[in-house]
Structure 1
Amino acid sequence: MLSGIRVLIVEDEPLVAATLSDVVENAEGEVVGIAHSVSEARQMIRRLSFDTAVLDLNLTDGEVTPVLEALQARKAPTVIYSGGELPARVRERHPELVALRKPVLPGRLVAEILRACRKTT
Structure 2
Amino acid sequence: MLNGLRVLVVEDDPAIAMDISDLVERAEGEVIGPVGSLREAKQTVKADQGIDAAVLDVNLSDGDITPVLESLRARKVGVVVYTGSGGLPSGVGERHPDIVVLQKPVQPGRLVGEIQRACRSVSV
TM-score (norm 2): 0.93
State which drifts further: 54-63 or 82-91.
82-91
State the distance in 2 between where 1:24 and 1:2 align.
7
Task: Quote the residue 1:3 is aligned against.
Answer: 3
Give the Å deviation of 1:23.
0.6
Provide, for residues 3-42 of structure 1, a one-character-per-residue CA deviation record: whole Å limited to 9, x for no partner. Answer: 1111000111100000000110111111022111111001
State which drifts further: 57-66 or 87-96.
87-96
Task: Quote the residue 1:61 is aligned against.
Answer: 62
Which amino acid letter does the alignment assign opposite residue 5 of structure 1? L
Which amino acid letter does the alignment assign opposite residue 70 of structure 2? E
Consecutive unaligned residues in structure 2, runs of 5 or more: none
SS at match of 1:54: strand
Which amino acid letter does the alignment assign opposite residue 95 of structure 1? P
State the distance in 1 between where 2:32 and 2:103 align.
23
Which amino acid letter does the alignment assign opposite residue 11 of structure 1? E
State which drifts further: 68-77 or 98-107.
68-77
5 Å-filtered alignment, 1:101-112, equals 101-112=103-114
Provide, for residues 60-100 of structure 1, a one-character-per-residue CA deviation record: whole Å limited to 9, x for no partner. Answer: 10111111111112111100000022245221121110110
State the distance in 2 between where 1:108 and 1:44 align.
26
Q: Deviation above 6 Å: which 4+ runs of structure 1?
A: none
Aligned length: 121
Q: CA RMSD in A?
A: 1.1
**Identical positions, percent:** 55
Which amino acid letter does the alignment assign opposite residue 30 of structure 1? E
Give the Å deviation of 1:114.
0.4
Which amino acid letter does the alignment assign opposite residue 54 of structure 1? V
